[in-house]
Each structure stands twice: as structure tokens, then as C-alpha cells.
Amino acid sequence: MSELRNKSVLVRARHFLTAWRQFAPDIELAAIKVTDLEMQMRNANEVRLEILQAEAVLSGLRGKRDKGEKALSDQLTMIAYGVRGHQDLGEDCPLYRAMGYVVTSENRSGRPKGPKTLKFPVPNKA
């Protein structure tokens, strides 16, 4: 069993099925027939394939969403540029601020300066 410990259930089931068919195909084990195991494996594999198909569809939808959101982001940027470049509005208007931008009259320049720490001399012990 150690060689099957880290394998998926379908790999283990194939291994069981192969061994069962080879050594005891007519014997029922735990009230289960070889055909029952085959059917259960087929059902599990079909569901696995459905999941793969759904993931492919989901991946395509995510790509479509990302493309749409990129276009929307570009459009929002263009609108902000339009507000900044408009002769009656500009970078210091209430609309620009309401859109979430910092208006030029409130914009701070440069790096923020941290508080200065005072250094006191340490007396030497002689």
C-alpha cells in the first residue's frame, strides 16, 4: 500500500481493479463486484471531466472579466484625464476630489519627514 499512499483515488482504484481482474475476477469482496467498482470509477471520472470542463469555462469567463475590467479601468483613467484637462474643471475642482483624487491645493510635495530624535551624550565611565 505504501506505493499508493500519495496517489489520487482514481489511480488507486485503477490499481485495485487491475489486480482484482487478474487474480479474482469472479469473487465478490465486501459485497462489491468488479463491475460495481468499474461503474463507480466511471462515475467518478465523468464528474472529474465535468469539473475540468467547468474550470475551462470559468477560466474563459475570468479572462473575459479581466479584459472588461481593464477596458473599464482605462476608461476611468481617461475620464480623470478629461476632468484634469477641462478648462472649467481641472485638478483643483470638487469633481476631481469626489472621484477619489487628491486636488492640487491639498497635495503635499516631497517625502514625509519623520520626527527628529534627540540624541543625548552618554557619560563615559572612567
pLDDT in tens, 80-95: 999 999 999 988 899 9
Cell 483624487, located at residue: 101
pLDDT of 42 > 70? The answer is yes
Residue 122 in any domain: the answer is no
- Tell me if 83 sits within 8 A of 89, measured CB to CB: yes
Domain membership flag for residue 97: yes
Q: How many domains does the chain have?
A: 1
pLDDT of 57: 97
Any domain includes 76: yes
pTM as predicted: 0.56
pLDDT at residue number 82: 94
C-alpha cell at 116: 527628529
115 vs 93 pLDDT, higher one: 93
- On whether residue 125 sits in a domain, the answer given is no
9 domain-assigned:
yes
Is the Cβ–Cβ distance between 37 and 13 less than 8 Å? yes
Asked if residue 106 is part of any domain, the answer here is no
pLDDT for 2 equals 60
Domain boundaries, position 84? 2-101
Report if residue 60 sits inside a domain: yes
